[in-house]
Chains A and B, each alone.
Chain A
Amino acid sequence: MSQVPDNLRYRESHEWIDASQDAAPCGISDHAQAELTDIVFVELPKVGRVVKAGEQCAVVESVKAASDIYAPASGEIVEVNEVLHNDPGLVNRDPYLNGWMFKLKLASAAEVETLLTPDAYRGHIA
């Protein structure tokens, strides 16, 4: 079924984060993109914005509906994926690599440990 890579952590609201990098890429899961389908617009946060874990910081719009995206962890937005402005469907096609949305400079590495492990997330979407 949907892919859940083992090197990522997840929020129950279907965002992922790759905390192995200094600027940690974040996006939405394969399960989330499949549920949304037909993503036609992505609204990204401003670079430099400081967010708390769970704070709404992006919007993904499919033909069906607009969905809020939440920061998986606290930190500063240091980069956003500008490619998504012209090609929002990249989130559908490649949610974990080229379809990343923003990169977070983490306020605390420990906070990421409170997120769902891949196994826990698999259980969550089962």
Chain B
Amino acid sequence: MSDEILRRSPLHAVHLEFNAHMVPFAGWEMPVQYSSIVEEHKAVRSAVGVFDISHMGQFIVSGRGAEAFLNRALTNDLCRLSPGQGQYTLMLNEGGGVIDDLIAYRTSDREFFLVVNASKIAEDWAQLQSLLANEDEVQMANASSLTGGIAVQGPKSRALFKTVFGPDAVFPEHNTIFVAATEHGILWLCGTGYTGEEGFELFTPESRIEHWFRACVDAAKAEGGTVCGLGARDTLRLEMGYPLNGNDLSQLRSPLQAGLGFFVALDKEFFVGRDMLVKQKSEGIPDKLTAFRMVGTTPPPRPHYPVLWQGQQVAEIASGTQSPSLGCGIGMAYLPTEASKPGTAIEVEIRGRYFPAEVVKKPFYQKPRA
């Protein structure tokens, strides 16, 4: 890993200017934090945060057969989307294991915009290519290395949006997309995020990203928010129980095991991996991605720590951290189905000591009611 050549975001110089602490992530050199993970996390929950997500990948899939083709490759049902709408979906292998989780937007009748994980761009692309036949009448373009991306998240996202795009600009509502042409180039504006807060993500050609990033950061500061690194992105998504591919999703486990059955349209006649899911649906699943919370004062649970149930090691932690909002350790692990009921007592082994934890429902964090 150490001699791996890391890719740099088009915002690299800006991150250094903002005193970011840079770390390797998914083959990229990215900011983990600027000030503090906890401060950045809290800014997103209370105001607004701006993240560089230029590492993420984008594919454009178009043509007469685009919908049918993607419906074979992905678990959710694209027929449900009108132009301008998007959905969370999964790409599976033949055995029903997760290659990647992604968002698919329908930008027009015959065109889809996919946003995929940075670490899976090559694998996703190869999988789609392998499923593509000439008679599909589909064109695919991989825009990943041509674009930069920004996520804006938090209750002040709408205010920021107005500052940056003008009072008449239309905010992209949840799970919608529109493509805008501006004097600073083309923009894909998506009503999505990875924090549980209201917000949007934008993608634009690399050469234009710095303009938008600076504009968003300036507007965020005016709203009491800040620029945020991937450290806060991780604590925010885990408080919502959102999975991270590589930690919580893998080719060895299905979306049903990951608790993502809602995003699988088993009523479709075919998609890659469907057979295994149908089998699991009737026979049951051996284990399930389960949320747990540490009891009392403990070290933060971290990935790969052993998890014990009834005195036996039954799993390793998939994702774990100290929750800045709750002030306690939280995590997720693939526990045996019998051990996955809320209230079940488990233990986490940390440096040879056993600390109590309890299975809880997702999400860990719930917004205070307005």
Chain A contact residues, CB within 8 Å of chain B: 37-38, 40-41, 43, 59, 61-64, 66, 85-86
Residue B224 interfacial (CB < 8 Å): no
Partner of A37, one of B37, B299, B321, B351: B37
List the 4 shortest-distance A-B pairs measured between CB atoms, nearest first. A37-B36, A38-B38, A40-B322, A63-B37
Q: In the assembled complex, how far is the CB of residue A30 from the closest CB belonging to chain B, in whole angstroms?
A: 15
Known: A41-B322, A63-B38. 4 other contacts (CB 8 A): A41-B297, A41-B298, A41-B300, A63-B322
A40 to B321, alpha carbons, bound, how many Å? 10
Q: Which residues of B contact A37 (CB under 8 A)?
A: 33, 35-38
A-B contact pairs, 29 of them (CB 8 A): A37-B35, A37-B36, A37-B37, A38-B38, A38-B324, A40-B300, A41-B297, A41-B298, A41-B300, A41-B322, A43-B299, A43-B351, A59-B299, A59-B351, A61-B300, A61-B322, A63-B37, A63-B38, A63-B231, A63-B300, A63-B322, A64-B32, A64-B33, A64-B231, A66-B299, A66-B300, A66-B302, A85-B297, A86-B297
Q: Mark B297-309, 1 if CB is under 8 A from A, else 0.
A: 1111010000000
A37 to B36, alpha carbons, bound, how many Å? 6
Q: Which residues of B contact A63 (CB under 8 A)?
A: 37-38, 231, 235, 300, 321-322, 324
Q: Which of B33, B35, B38, B297: most chain A Cβ within 10 A?
A: B38
Q: In the assembled complex, how far is the CB of residue B48 from the closest CB belonging to chain A, in whole angstroms?
A: 20
Q: Which residues of B contact A85 (CB under 8 A)?
A: 297
Q: Which residues of A contact B235 (CB under 8 A)?
A: 63
Q: Which residues of A contact B298 (CB under 8 A)?
A: 41
Q: Which residues of A contact B321 (CB under 8 A)?
A: 63
A63 to B230, alpha carbons, bound, how many Å? 12
A34 to B35, alpha carbons, bound, how many Å? 9
Q: In the assembled complex, how far is the CB of residue B303 from the closest CB belonging to chain A, in whole angstroms?
A: 11
Q: Which of B33, B36, B235, B302: most chain A Cβ within 10 A?
A: B36
**Nearest A residue to B35 by beta-carbon distance?**
A37
Q: Which of A37, A40, A41, A62: most chain B Cβ within 10 A?
A: A40
Partner of B299, one of A38, A41, A86: A41
Q: Which residues of A contact B33 (CB under 8 A)?
A: 37, 64
A86 to B297, alpha carbons, bound, how many Å? 8
A85 to B298, alpha carbons, bound, how many Å? 9
Q: In the assembled complex, how far is the CB of residue A56 from the closest CB belonging to chain B, in whole angstroms?
A: 10
Q: Which residues of A contact B299 (CB under 8 A)?
A: 41, 43, 59, 61, 66
Within residues 140 to 165 of chain B, which ones have a CB less than 8 A from any CB in chain A? none
Q: In the assembled complex, how far is the CB of residue A93 from the closest CB belonging to chain B, in whole angstroms?
A: 12
A106 to B176, alpha carbons, bound, how many Å? 65
A66 to B195, alpha carbons, bound, how many Å? 24
Q: Which residues of A contact B300 (CB under 8 A)?
A: 40-41, 61, 63, 66
**Nearest A residue to B38 by beta-carbon distance?**
A38
Q: Which residues of A contact B36 (CB under 8 A)?
A: 37-38
Q: Which residues of B contact A41 (CB under 8 A)?
A: 297-300, 322
A79 to B87, alpha carbons, bound, how many Å? 57
A62 to B322, alpha carbons, bound, how many Å? 8
- Whether A64 contacts B297 in the complex (CB less than 8 A), given A40-B322, A43-B351, A59-B351, comes out as no
A87 to B38, alpha carbons, bound, how many Å? 15
Within residues 249 to 297 of chain B, which ones have a CB less than 8 A from any CB in chain A? 297
Within residues 214 to 268 of chain B, which ones have a CB less than 8 A from any CB in chain A? 231, 235
Q: Which residues of B contact A43 (CB under 8 A)?
A: 299, 351
Q: In the assembled complex, how far is the CB of residue A69 from the closest CB belonging to chain B, in whole angstroms?
A: 13
**Nearest B residue to A89 by beta-carbon distance?**
B38
Q: Which residues of B contact A61 (CB under 8 A)?
A: 299-300, 322
Q: Which of A37, A59, A64, A66: most chain B Cβ within 10 A?
A: A64
A103 to B33, alpha carbons, bound, how many Å? 33
A38 to B302, alpha carbons, bound, how many Å? 16
A37 to B113, alpha carbons, bound, how many Å? 38
Q: In the assembled complex, how far is the CB of residue A38 from the closest CB belonging to chain B, in whole angstroms?
A: 4
A41 to B329, alpha carbons, bound, how many Å? 10
Q: Which residues of A contact B38 (CB under 8 A)?
A: 37-38, 63
A85 to B35, alpha carbons, bound, how many Å? 24
Q: Which residues of B contact A40 (CB under 8 A)?
A: 300, 322
